A and B are shown apart, each in its own frame.
Chain A
């Protein structure tokens, strides 16, 4: 398996623009997570899905952030409108129930909002 695939690897955008980050989890995994990593706050869980259903979105910072998982092999994290403070590395991870919560991470999307 190719692992968790995220795109794009780097995104540079201007304040106010819409940003969409994409993730393809490992085939067969039933959990998908979106994390954000910054120097100030470390690694924060934004939202996670189980069998395509959002389970906990309490980490989503505000209404500008939204996430969807239309099917088992694809998820998006959207920021609209983007702000400079959204600049961070966004990671997607997936896992399989019954495996003691071992997460497999993608390589991340480095987002810079100017």
Chain B
């Protein structure tokens, strides 16, 4: 069965600093991988997705993620954090059939 592990339940950065949120996956078949973002009191929104095309995936709000098969990783990055990026971020994996398995989430805190 597929699964994802997100390292760090909380990540704190200063405004303007690099954002790096880590995700490792486990899957028996080539996976689909996703990053979703959840703002307070809202549902999850798709940031970006990897579906076996280019290994570097660009998403909304300046985020990107790189699929590394050798490391079974799909880390999320943003060169310069903005206060509005403060939210909870979820990595997810799917082996098809519309069924996603989510990680436990990483809360990103951005300080001025």
Contact = CB atoms under 8 A, between A and B. Distances in A.
Interface stretch (A14-22, A62-70, A78-86, A104-112): A104-112
A42 B104 contact: yes
A107 B43 contact: yes
Contact of B103 (A42, A48, A56): A42
A1 interface: no
A93 B103 contact: no
Most buried by A among B43, B46, B103, B105: B43
A45 to B, nearest CB: 7
A4 B42 CA distance: 12
B44 A103 contact: yes
Interface string B83-112: 000000010001010111111110000000
Contacts of A34: none
B98 A108 contact: no
A75 interface: no
Contacts of A50: 98
A100 B32 contact: yes
Nearest to B52: A100
A101 B97 CA distance: 8
B70 interface: no
B99 A91 contact: no
Dominant SS at the B interface? strand
- Interface size range of chain B in the complex: 20 to 34
B101 to A, nearest CB: 7
A27 to B, nearest CB: 17
Contacts of B27: none
Given A100-B49, A101-B32, A102-B49, A91 B102 contact: no
A87 to B, nearest CB: 16
A48 B90 CA distance: 19
Contact of A93 (B34, B43, B49): B43
B45 interface: yes
Contact of A101 (B44, B94, B103): B94
